[in-house]
Structure formats: C-alpha cells, structure tokens
Amino acid sequence: MSAVPLPLAEVLARGDIWRGDALPGLPENAIASGHAELDAELPGGGWPRGNLSEILVDRCGQGEMGLLLPALASLSQAGGWLALIDPPWQPHAPAWAAAGVVPERLLVIRAGRDAAWCCEQLLASGGFAGVLAWPAVSIDARALRRLQVAVEGRPTLACLWRPTAVAGLPSPAPLRLVLAGEASGLTVHILKRRGRPAARPLHLSIPRPGRSSRALAGPSLSAVAARSTALAAVA
C-alpha cells in the first residue's frame, strides 16, 4: 500500500510518537514556562500547545497561577487572546495587568452547566492562545477526550484545573501535574508526561508578595490598633 516507507527519524519526530527513554522534542509547539527547572522536565521544553494539560491542586492561593503566568503574559503580549472558563474567584484587573496580561484580551466566561461545551468551542475555534478552565468535579473521561480531540493541532495552550482527588482516575491529557504549596515555593510532581516518567518532584520558587516588596505604610487606625496585636507579629 504505502510504497515509500518513512525514514525512522521522521517517524520519531512526530508529536504522537515518543520513546520511553527520552523526552520528545517539540520545539515549535512549546512555550517556555519561565521556570528553567520545569522547562527541563517538560517534553519540548515548555508548556505544550495543542494538547490538554491538567494541573491538579487542592487549594487556591499557593502560587499555582504563578506557574503559568509568565507563559500567559508572553502569549498575551504577542496579541493572543486568553480565556478563563468558570474561574473560582473574580480576576482582579490590576494584578493581571501587572503580571503582563493585556486585560482587553482576557476573556472571562461564566458557563455553568455549559462549561464543557464552552471549553470545546473555544479550543476548536483555534482563535485563542490560551484557554484555562476550572471544570466541574464531575467532568468525565469522555468529555475530557472530546476536549483533547478539539485542541489537537491548534495553537492553543489548554489547561484544566482539577482537584488532586482525581489523580488516580484515568485522563486523556498528555501532561498532568500535581501541585503542593510549601513555605518557599511550590512542589511540582509530574504525574504523567510523554516520554520517560519523572523520578522526583520539583521544587520551584515562585515570586511571592510580602516582605521583599515595599509596601506603603500608612497611619494605622487607632481604634483597631489598640484592639489588635497583629502589627507586633509583622514587626
């Protein structure tokens, strides 16, 4: 049937073929994450485009967005559109702008029951540089498979946020990370990736607000200050 056999090197260079002992290189499809240690462990050297990535995290506010923000900022500044589907909290425009995301290119969608449909539409449209979704816990493997099919071959960074409780359940996403917060940064355990499995968790330092940044000190409310000793804890 196929008269001309493909050279082996060409077959191995395909995105859907990977070898157990090496990380496949997909340079044109990846976006540098901005964290060198993480890039070294991700196939292609960065966040993949055209594939689902699952990030499993239990609590917000541990620095999990800081993991993606450098990549999102570079996509946004290149003129790309970003979409947040059902984020757990309201985005605060000044912070996103300060992180380098263009606010007018950040779409926030309240989809509710239509979240999976909405996510599929966004991914399949091919018009978005980044799609971040917080799907309901009940999203099943079939819906995830549909999303993976929708995003395949599109120039979109697709990221699903899910609780760590689903780590044991099967998922068609080619990249799955489990995050845990710690005092100095973030622990990233790569649950699944294309290529050889990851041996040990990574410790990333995420820039955090607080002591290092200069906060404006104003006169304290005398009534409250008298009642609270919290300021002593800071000083």
Partner 1 sequence: MLWLALHFPLLPLEALPLRQSPSALVNRGRVCCVDRAAAEAGVGSGQKLSTALGLAPALAVFERDAGREAAALASLACWAGRFTPTVSLAAPDALLLEIGACLRLFGGAEAIVAAVEAGCREQSYTLTWAAAPTPLGALWLARAGRAAVYPEANAMQAALASLPCVVPGWLADVVERLEAFGLRCLGDLRRQPAAGLRRRIGNAPLDDLLRAWGEIPHPQLAFVFPESFRLSIELPARVEHAEALAFAGQRLFSALAGWLQVRQLLVRACVLQLTHDDRSTSELPLRFAEPAADEARFARLLREHLGRLQLRAPVEALCLRAEEVTARPGASAGLFEQAVAGEGLALCLERLQARLGAGAVRVLAGQADHRPECATGWREPALDLPLSAASTVGQAPPRPLWLLPAPQALREERGRPFWQGPLSLQSRAERLESGWWDEGEAGAAGDLRRDYFVARNPHGQWAWVFRDREGWFLHGLFA
Tokens 């999990």, residue located: 64
The smaller minimum CB distance to partner 1, of residues 126 and 163, is found at 126
* Interaction pattern, residues 132-151, with partner 1; x per rule: CB under 8 A: --------------------
Q: Which two tokens stand for residue 147?
A: 């999303």
Tell me the C-alpha distance between 127 and 74, whole Å: 16
Binding residue for partner 1, selected from 14, 103, 165, 169, defined by CB under 8 A: 103
Pick one of 124, 149, 198, 202: the residue that binds partner 1 (CB under 8 A). 124
Asked if 231 interacts with partner 1 (CB under 8 A), we say yes
Question: Between residue 156 and residue 195, which ones bind partner 1 under the rule CB under 8 A?
Answer: 180-183
Tell me which residue of 41, 59, 30, 139 sits closest to 148, measured CA to CA.
Answer: 139
Taking the complex as a whole, the smallest distance from the CB of residue 107 to partner 1 amounts, in Å, to 5
Q: Which of 139, 193, 151, 144 is nearest to 171 (CA)?
A: 144
Binding residue for partner 1, selected from 109, 173, 178, 188, defined by CB under 8 A? 109
> Measuring CA to CA, which residue among 177, 155, 180 is closest to residue 166?
177
- Under the binding rule (CB under 8 A), the answer on residue 218 touching partner 1 is yes
